[in-house]
Homo-oligomer: A and B are copies of this chain.
Amino acid sequence: MQAVGKNKTREEKRKEKLDIILRNASKAFMEKGYYKTSLDDIAQMQNVTKPTLYYYIKNKEDILVKCEEEACLRINGLLDEIILINGNGFQKLYQFVQGYINIVTDDIIRCHVRHRGQMEEESLKLKSIQNHKDIEARVREIIRIGIEDGSIRECNATILAILLFDSLNGISSWYKSDGQVKSDELTEEVLALVTHGVIGD
């Protein structure tokens, strides 16, 4: 229930309204779950009726698809930046973890993380799985760079990438910006754990 600004073109307003729908839907999906959230619920959150939603989305599932598009844009954007910076593989991975934690606490991204690969329509499901595979492959590549330049220890890059994503994505389901754990400390602890593990000196 956020006001839409004035002095905008029709297309800008449209984009804003779609964004509000996605944010509200994401919040509801995270709190009550996808199937327990009706389109009427979502419509009510922005004081419109259900058929109005259909002017902005194709169907309920399309909300998940649009959240995914947004998420992929941001994650791939981060990876694009990281490939360009100079530094060894470890430094790139370090930057990725930092950036990803920042991204993964946004409602739309959280919604994507929780629902990716769970679309009912088979083609959408496959696309969603592929999207994640592509991103995982890019992180794996960073890990390989690190192994080659010696900044990351010899390990199975595939398993490492998966485990890393599991713990980072997990953050999206428990982290609350107003909760006990502060964002800075979280990032610091994650980086320390990923870097050095748990072993004492």
What residues of chain A have their CB less than 8 Å away from a CB belonging to chain B? 33-36, 90, 93, 118, 120, 143, 146-147, 150-153, 155-156, 158-160, 162-167, 169-171, 174, 181, 185-186, 189-190, 192-201
Contacts and interface: CB of A to CB of B under 8 A. Distances in A.
Contact of A155 (B165, B170, B181, B189): B189
A100 to B, nearest CB: 13
B156 A189 contact: yes
A151 B185 CA distance: 22
Contacts of A189: 155-156, 159-160, 163
A20 to B, nearest CB: 26
For the complex of A and B, 5 pairs with smallest distance between CB atoms? A166-B170, A197-B197, A35-B35, A167-B167, A159-B189
A166 B171 contact: yes
A80 to B, nearest CB: 22
A98 to B, nearest CB: 14
Nearest to A190: B163
B196 A153 contact: yes
A198 B166 contact: no
Contacts of A152: 198-200
Given A158-B181, A159-B181, A166-B170, 10 more contacts: A146-B200, A147-B200, A152-B200, A159-B185, A159-B189, A163-B193, A167-B167, A195-B198, A195-B199, A196-B197
